[in-house]
Each structure stands twice: as C-alpha cells, then as structure tokens.
Amino acid sequence: MNTTANEAIENINIIKSTMDESKISYKGLYKLCLTFGICNIVLTLASYLSVILVFNTPVRTEFLTFSTVLIHILSFAVPMSAYILICKTEKKYNNRFYLSIIDTWAVISILLPVFRIIISLIQYNMIDKGLLPMTDPAYLYLVNSGDLSGAILFLMIIIIYSNISRKPYIKIIGVFIMFVRMFFSMVELSYMSGTTDYETLMKFPGYEVYTTLSGIFAFLVSGIGYIIIGVLIKKRVEATSAGKES
Amino acid sequence: MNMNEIPEALCQKLRIKIVSSLVSSSKTFNELLDLTQTTKGNLSVQLMKLEEWQYITSDKIIENKKTKTTYTITDHGMTQFEEYVALLKKIIEESVG
C-alpha cells in the first residue's frame, strides 16, 4: 500500500478524533458534584432562614412543619432528579468503571437525605415526645452513621478526583479533611444562633438554636467543597480534551 | 514497520477507528457503534476480521437477560497500532522536510 503524506495526515486526524471521542468525559460526575453542592448550600441556608422566620410568623408550627418537610423532600429529590437526567445521557458510554462510580456515589448521596429524614422522624416522634432518651444508643448510632456517611461520601469524591487528575497527594488532603471533621465532632464547639429562651424552646421541641463548629465545617465541605471538586473535575476534563494533560 | 509493511488490519478507515477507540479502554459493541457511526453489519464484519488477526479480543457477558460483548485491544494489536502511528508520523515529517 502506498500511503501518501495526505493520507497519513488524514489517518492521523481520524485516530486523534476517535481517541478524543472515546475518552470518558466525566461530565456526569462534575454535574452531580455541582448539583449536590449547590443543593446543599441552598437547603442549609433555607433551613437557617426558616429558623429566623419562624419567630416572625403568626403560624409558627405550620411554618416550621412545612419548611422542614419541604427541605427534607428537596434534599433527596434534587440529587435524585439530577442523577436520573445525567444517567440518561451517560449510559451510552457503557464504561462499567465510570458508570459504577456514578451509581455508587449517586445512590449514597440520595440515600443520605433519606437517612436524615428517618433520624428527624425519630427525633420528632420519639425523642421530642419523651418516648426515647436523647442518649439512646440506637438513636446515637443512627446520628453518627449519618454524619460518617456524609464524610465518607466526600472522601470518595476526593479520591475519584485524585485518580482522574493523577495527583495522589489529594487523597491525603481528603483524609485530612475527614479527620478535621471528626475532630470538630468530638470537641463540639458551638455558638448560639437562635434563642435560649426556655419557654420558646418548649414550644418548638427539637428546635436547633446552636450551630456547632462541626456543623459549619460540614456545611462548607458538603456545599462549597463539592462545588470546588466539581469545578476542578470540569477543568481537568477540559484540559485533557485540549491536550494539556500534565 | 515501513510503508510496504502496513498490516491489512490498519488499511481501512473503519478498522483504524475501531482500534483507536479501544486504545484508551475496552468498549462494548454499542459504544463502538456510537463512536464509529457505521452500520451494525459493517461493524460486526470488521470486528470479526480484527479478532481473526488477533488485534482485539471479545468477551461476552449476560446483563439484564441480554448478551453484551466487550472488545479489548490485544498486546499485538497495541504494538502494531503504535508502529503504525510512528510510521504515519515519519511520513508526515519527511513530507514536511
């Protein structure tokens, strides 16, 4: 076969474009990260806002119930809708490794809010009504498992990003963040953001008036942290497809 | 590899596309269909030829009661492909001067 220079260029172009197209885009992953991060920020701010507004509304109980139910529903409905939409477009890639990453991560991120709803229901129906002590081992186990699952979920996405970007030290940062989160949970430093008035608190049992340091850290990680990881994955994918792989 | 030694497996554009797309990772039939934008019949024929020449291997699994075939490039296929790309590069460099 006599391959001319033009044919060689044409064939090189075919090879290059096919290889570019066959790469995993990770679009679904960074879209999930961004959705999850924005959802966490909006819902956390909404829950704080409802805490402030509840004292200024004549229908306090109804408002509190409505806002709590709405926030809980949205906390799993938004990631679930995003997952369904993203999966529709990503399924065609058929890369089992990539799809299993999205599946595992999305299932945990959808189950986590459901888990929190169960904890809230137990708190509302049993703890607040005095049917179960706050120190009940089963209840504490559920609360701790929820916190730990959130931390592991974030560690998971950091490890995935570390592998995509081929920067192993990012895994160490992920582990460090997890340890900091656990440390804050242990020391339980907190500041007051609502009221300590006993009578008001009696009217609204289970009403959060303290913000713990671990709570702020969890908010930063699960909100801003996911957005940062999402943006980093997006940048990495764009750099790779532009041939700037380091 | 020189110009007279280009293997038959890499003498056709569709087969070049198939081999190129398998370099990064294994692919299923549907994925290759999507990447090559060809007909099922044509893709099947070329995949069979590449398998005969030991450029690729296929692995059948049953998923949701459907057979799913995954294709992977072999070491021989990878070596031939790398030599082919090196040859194309050499041709272009020589033509440029």
User: Would the CB atoms of B3 and A2 count as touching at under 8 Å?
Assistant: yes
pLDDT given for residue B39 in this prediction: 92
The answer, for A12 touching chain B at a CB cutoff of 8 Å, is yes
| A229 occurs within a structural domain | yes
| Full DSSP string of A138-153 | HHHHHHHHHHHHHHHH
Indicate the pTM of the whole model: 0.61
| A124 occurs within a structural domain | yes
Query: Whole-number mean pLDDT of chain B?
Result: 87
The answer, for A59 touching chain B at a CB cutoff of 8 Å, is no
Exposed/middle/buried for A207, CB within 10 Å: 0-12, 13-18, 19+? middle
Exposed/middle/buried for B22, CB within 10 Å: 0-12, 13-18, 19+? buried
| B31 occurs within a structural domain | yes
The answer, for B33 touching chain A at a CB cutoff of 8 Å, is no
Q: Hey, is B20 helix, strand or coil? A: helix
The answer, for B30 touching chain A at a CB cutoff of 8 Å, is yes
| A85 occurs within a structural domain | yes
pLDDT confidence bin for A192, thresholds 50/70/90: low
Could you give the ipTM of this predicted complex?
0.85
Query: Whole-number mean pLDDT of chain A?
Result: 75
Q: What is the mean pLDDT of residues B44-48?
A: 94
Other C-beta atoms lying within 10 Å of the C-beta of residue A203:
12
| B1 occurs within a structural domain | no
* Distance of residue A9 Cα from the nearest chain B Cα, in angstroms: 7
In the beta sheet, which residues pair with residue B27? B71
How many separate domains does chain B show?
A: 1
Size of interface A-B (CB pairs under 8 A): 70
Domain with A42, as residue range(s), is 26-241
CB A50 within 8 A of CB A67: yes
| Tokens of residue B18, six digits | 């198939």
pLDDT confidence bin for B52, thresholds 50/70/90: very high
How many separate domains does chain A show?
A: 1
Q: First and final CA of chain A: distance in angstroms?
A: 37
The answer, for A22 touching chain B at a CB cutoff of 8 Å, is yes
Domain with B26, as residue range(s), is 7-91
| A246 occurs within a structural domain | no
| A66 occurs within a structural domain | yes
| B26 occurs within a structural domain | yes
Write out chain A residues lying below 8 Å of B92, CB-based: 5, 8-9, 12
User: Would the CB atoms of B4 and A8 count as touching at under 8 Å?
Assistant: no
Q: What is the mean pLDDT of residues A113-120?
A: 79
Write out chain A residues lying below 8 Å of B61, CB-based: none
Write out chain A residues lying below 8 Å of B14, CB-based: none
pLDDT confidence bin for A246, thresholds 50/70/90: very low
* DSSP 8-state code for residue A87: H
| A5 occurs within a structural domain | no
- Domain of B59, CATH number, reads 1.10.10.10
Q: What is the mean pLDDT of residues A63-81?
A: 78
In the beta sheet, which residues pair with residue B61? B68
| A13 occurs within a structural domain | no
> How much of chain A, in percent, has pLDDT values that exceed 70?
77
pLDDT given for residue A116 in this prediction: 77
* Distance of residue A243 Cα from the nearest chain B Cα, in angstroms: 15
Phi-psi region of A55 (alpha: psi -120 to 50; beta: other; left: phi over 0): alpha
The answer, for A196 touching chain B at a CB cutoff of 8 Å, is no
* DSSP 8-state code for residue A221: I
User: Would the CB atoms of A21 and B21 count as touching at under 8 Å?
Assistant: yes
From the candidates B15, B30, B33, B35, which should be mutated to test the interface with A, based on the most A CB atoms within 10 A? B35
